[in-house]
Structure 1
């Protein structure tokens, strides 16, 4: 009798544990990416990479974010430099993010940042926070 009871408990635990693992595998099937860059011209190859990963990943492609920080942060305020990148990022569903810490340090006014870009307080911290959420990260 005890053997049957133990078998039922073991079977029940096995079934519920297996369900939890399957749910995690479904949830983790999206591939999310974040790239931290210091130079606006690097947006071109980064966006090409996002496009290729989107093709490769298919339905598993999740989010793709590009964080711009460093001493050249002022370049994001130049429409001639940014317009084509903003358009391409928007078409790909890529989020462009400006580092507020860099903007403050190098005296870039928030009102000069293109409206399509998000500003975060600290780009490096934001990058680590995304990594903790499982994002694949690259810094250039």
Structure 2
């Protein structure tokens, strides 16, 4: 009986400590973010948010990806709109990504997409895949 009590007490202690250990481990992992947006104009507040999170997270700031998709995807080819965002994203280490599905659907010449942007076949699928990998996600 005494052994059963000790075993029960041991498992109770493990159950109480496990959430604390799990929380501590998650605080030491990099914080990764992905944002899905439909408008180039939204890059300004998105990049400001990335900058604030980079300061807040410090050494735990991981990847920050922004996927641009939707009917306004053609705006990514307009350098007058994109240039300030490209510079800021580069400075912050933010990856800008164009949705290939949107480029095709809205007949945007992929060759005119600035080389600073990468392209994925399907931005929505890519966003979901990043979430499966533990990225914190926001859709605008």
Match runs of 1:1-140 below 5 Å: 25=25, 29-140=29-140
Q: If the length of structure 2 is used for normalisation, what is the TM-score?
A: 0.82
Secondary structure, in 3 states, of the residue corresponding to 2:115?
coil
* Structure 2 gap segments, 5+ residues each: none
Q: Report Cα offsets for 1:17-50 as digits up to 9, x if no partner.
A: x8xx67x926962100000000000000000000
Specify whether residues 27 and 128 from structure 1 end up closer, same or farther in structure 2 by C-alpha distance, changes over 3 A only.
Answer: same
Give ranges in structure 1 of 5+ residues lacking alignment.
none
| Deviation for aligned residue 1:110 | 1.1
With the length of structure 1 as denominator, give the TM-score of the two structures.
0.82
RMSD value, Cα: 2.0
Q: Which runs of 4+ in 1 moved over 3 A?
A: none
CA distance 1:79–1:48, shift in 2 (3 Å): same
